[in-house]
């Protein structure tokens, strides 16, 4: 029988443990960001540098989107503080459902940043290894030498499923699912684009397979997993994995001339795309990547390191992130997205802690042309002759 003092010690430890667990849940929910939900008000800016960034961002927006405005949102922040923000248009063109800071829109390939960091989070927890071969998760997978890491860095050599699968097999509104793509590659064995880990070749198949690996390891859907580990803790209340039904009913996209883009047989695959979000939610995501409480220093360094050097130039790809390497420790980490008429850009200028985010659902390639703004609000100069992705 335990002594009285031993019982007291046991109860004390138990109470402290319960308190610590509850406290941890509270901390997990609030510690990553300090981004207000209030509308942006430029009159509250008092710092001269912040006012300067606001003026330059405003001028950039007015000059570039005067005749072709973003049907969506545009945001510039420094150290997580919004210094310029603008929302225009409506979800359904010419309707009254005005786009605002709470309106979720399709971010297309910028979704890959969440899939990649989801994998890296599992690796950080020792639930998988980046050097695991795909046969560990898909025993019948016919291609040897491909690892999780080569999927993340787009060095697998696999063909893009969007190019090799036959759309004629998906008629009457039927849409291909991730498991269908895996089955196709196992049974049909389409030719590789190259040998594994020999060169960088951007390929959506890589991230579709990564989503399936996440689901196999966690026993959860990708949407539930990302909601649990990222979206809810970061209070990204308008971010989620979407599907064709959501896009058709709530978030249609349009060509530049205003004609609506219809859904296709490819609109239900995910991991490579199909996350909806807002500029403000992506800013919360941006801030979490600076904070070492969610990801370790080693995880962030792995994600933001370049892995492809076959071609000279300043552009490269990490694990789920594009990057522009400009020397003098100037590193721009970013990802763009395009799907149907939806565009997104998510730029992180690490040396200056500046973030530029744009999301729109009416085709507008000017969304991607933010280099002049980066040069305007930082000391970075891109120079000439660097290779493009």
Query: Do 279 and 356 contact (CB within 8 A), yes or no?
Result: no
Neighbours of 43 (CB within 10 A): 5
Per-residue pLDDT of the chain (389 residues; tens, 9 = 90+): 444 344 333 433 343 343 334 333 333 333 334 677 888 999 999 999 999 999 999 999 999 999 899 999 999 999 999 999 999 999 999 888 999 999 999 999 999 999 999 999 999 999 999 999 999 999 999 999 999 999 999 999 999 999 999 999 998 889 999 999 999 999 999 999 999 999 999 999 999 999 999 999 999 999 999 999 999 999 999 999 998 888 877 889 999 999 999 999 999 999 999 999 999 999 999 999 998 889 999 999 999 999 999 988 999 999 999 999 987 778 999 999 999 999 999 999 999 999 999 999 999 999 999 999 999 999 888 875 433 33
Q: What is the dihedral of CA 358, 264, 111, 359, to 10 degrees?
A: 10
Provide the pLDDT for residue 172: 85
Please give the C-alpha separations between residue 318 and each of 42, 159, 217, 310, in angstroms, as whole numbers.
35, 20, 23, 14
Provide the pLDDT for residue 380: 87
CATH 3.40.800.20 fits domain 49-377: no
CB proximity list for 180: less than 8 A, separation 6 or greater: none
Rounded CA separation 364/69 (Å)? 8
User: By C-alpha distance, which of 291, 327, 336 is closest to 306?
Assistant: 327
Provide the pLDDT for residue 34: 65
Tokens standing for 270?
């995910």
The answer to whether the predicted template modeling score (pTM) of the entire model surpasses 0.85 is: yes
Provide the pLDDT for residue 384: 56
Rounded CA separation 47/36 (Å)? 18
Rounded CA separation 145/203 (Å)? 17
DSSP 232: T
Provide the pLDDT for residue 246: 85
Domain ranges of the chain: 49-377
CB proximity list for 218: less than 8 A, separation 6 or greater: 122, 127, 225
- Give the dihedral sign, CA 292/350/283/323: negative
Tokens standing for 35?
């981004």
């Amino acid at each position: 029988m335990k002594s009285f003092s031993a019982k007291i010690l046991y109860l004390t430890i138990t109470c402290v443990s319960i308190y610590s667990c509850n406290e941890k849940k509270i901390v997990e929910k609030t510690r990553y960001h300090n981004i207000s939900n209030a509308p942006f008000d430029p009159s509250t800016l008092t710092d001269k540098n912040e006012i300067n960034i606001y003026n330059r961002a405003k001028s950039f927006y007015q000059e570039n989107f005067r005749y072709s405005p973003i049907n969506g949102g545009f945001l510039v922040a420094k150290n997580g503080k919004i210094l310029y923000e603008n929302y225009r248009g409506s979800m359904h063109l010419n309707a009254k459902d005005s786009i605002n800071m709470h309106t979720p829109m399709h971010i297309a390939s910028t979704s890959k940043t969440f899939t990649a960091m989801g994998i890296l989070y599992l690796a950080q927890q020792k639930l998988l290894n980046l050097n695991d071969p795909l046969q560990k998760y898909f025993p019948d997978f016919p291609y040897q030498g491909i690892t999780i890491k080569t999927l993340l860095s787009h060095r697998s050599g696999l063909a893009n499923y969007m190019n090799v699968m036959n759309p004629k097999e998906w008629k009457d509104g039927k849409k291909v699912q991730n498991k269908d793509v895996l089955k196709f590659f196992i049974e049909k064995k389409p030719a590789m684009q190259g040998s594994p880990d020999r060169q960088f070749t951007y390929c959506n198949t890589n991230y579709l397979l990564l989503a399936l690996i996440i689901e196999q390891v966690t026993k959860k859907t990708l949407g539930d997993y990302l909601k649990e580990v990222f979206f809810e803790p970061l209070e990204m209340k308008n971010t989620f994995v979407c599907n064709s039904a959501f896009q058709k009913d709530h978030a249609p996209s349009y060509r530049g001339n205003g004609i609506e883009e219809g859904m296709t047989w490819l609109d239900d695959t995910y991991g490579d795309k199909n996350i909806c979000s807002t500029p403000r939610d992506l800013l919360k995501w941006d801030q979490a990547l600076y904070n070492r409480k969610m990801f370790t220093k080693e995880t962030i360094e792995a994600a933001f390191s370049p892995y492809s050097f076959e071609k000279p130039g300043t552009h490269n790809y990490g694990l789920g992130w594009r990057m522009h390497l400009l020397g003098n420790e100037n590193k721009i980490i970013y990802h763009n997205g395009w799907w149907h008429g939806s565009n997104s850009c998510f730029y992180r200028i690490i040396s200056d802690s500046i973030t530029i985010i744009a999301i729109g659902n009416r085709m507008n390639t000017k969304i991607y042309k933010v280099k002049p703004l980066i040069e305007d609000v930082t000391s970075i100069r891109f120079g000439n002759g660097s290779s493009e992705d």
